[in-house]
């Protein structure tokens, strides 16, 4: 189903935030964070690039992710000059099924990022949708924002429409709100309700706060139901709406500012 569970967030000390002490010279921004905002890689992947000696500032190879970048500095990664980060931007994308949410797939399967318009800058996804899932996927040019929006502490609800083969019982769906354990894995409460039924096919509305990898599919299988289609229709306050399949639409800066977790 999804792979929305984020990595454990990094904890920054006050000395690592880039905020100078009163009267001190501004130190700029930490290089790992700068590279994430520039869309080069996530902060963790940026730190790996630094450890591998692939990042240079003003023609000097750096070795520590806490190195600070000034506005006038020239940053090169793996021989490529990197433009300064653009303003933070967010897009809604209607992911079709059949695409994996990764920049590089070792199995050679088509990826989300290969299918995006060439007019977009380099972006990262907020969470994931698996190969056979479709619907709303948020994309951003700011890796730090992606991490922020993935955090369970935001209490953002992910909403899905799920088509299953089988006979779901309303009482069984309602019981999912109490959570359940499958093969030793504990799943938190899920809100699920039967929308419609036609023969052996049914549509179910599902809402959850923290989607584990393939959680909906595993829960439905546990109930004797086979998921034949899974569509994410909302991620927190952002809706799929009528965005066409494969379509991309930028969230306005005003809406982004209003919806960001405080």
Which of 3, 4, 130, 142 does the annotation list as catalytic?
Answer: 130
Q: Measured between alpha carbons, how far is 93 from 115 in angstroms, rounded to an integer?
A: 11
Q: Is the dihedral of CA 82, 83, 89, 92 positive or negative?
A: negative
Is 45 tagged catalytic? no
CB 46 within 8 A of CB 65: yes
Mention every residue, 6+ apart, whose C-beta is less than 8 A from residue 28: 18, 34, 68, 69, 70, 71, 73
Mention every residue, 6+ apart, whose C-beta is less than 8 A from residue 152: 6, 209, 210
Pairing verdict, β 226-235 and 134-140: parallel
The catalytic residue positions are 130
């Amino acid at each position: 189903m999804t792979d929305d569970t984020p990595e454990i967030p990094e904890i920054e000390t006050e000395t690592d935030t880039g905020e100078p002490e009163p009267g001190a010279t501004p130190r700029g921004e930490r290089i790992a964070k700068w590279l994430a905002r520039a869309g080069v890689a996530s902060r963790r992947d940026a730190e790996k690039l630094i450890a591998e000696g692939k990042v240079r500032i003003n023609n000097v190879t750096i070795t520590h992710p806490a190195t600070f970048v000034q506005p006038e500095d020239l940053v090169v990664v793996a021989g490529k000059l990197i433009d300064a980060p653009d303003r933070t931007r967010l897009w809604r994308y209607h992911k079709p099924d059949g695409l994996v949410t990764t920049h590089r797939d070792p199995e050679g399967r088509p990826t989300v990022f290969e299918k995006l318009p060439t007019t977009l800058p380099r972006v990262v996804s907020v969470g994931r949708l698996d190969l056979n899932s479709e619907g709303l996927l948020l994309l951003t040019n700011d890796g730090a924002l992606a991490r922020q929006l993935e955090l369970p502490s935001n209490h953002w609800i992910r909403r899905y429409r799920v088509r299953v083969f089988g006979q779901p019982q309303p009482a069984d769906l309602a019981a999912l709100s109490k959570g359940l354990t499958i093969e030793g894995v504990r799943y938190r409460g899920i809100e699920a309700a039967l929308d419609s039924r036609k023969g052996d096919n049914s549509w179910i509305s599902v809402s959850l706060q923290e989607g584990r990898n393939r959680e909906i599919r595993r829960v439905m299988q546990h109930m004797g139901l086979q998921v034949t289609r899974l569509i994410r229709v909302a991620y927190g306050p952002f809706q799929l709406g009528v965005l066409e399949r494969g379509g991309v639409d930028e969230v306005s800066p005003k809406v982004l500012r209003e919806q960001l977790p405080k």
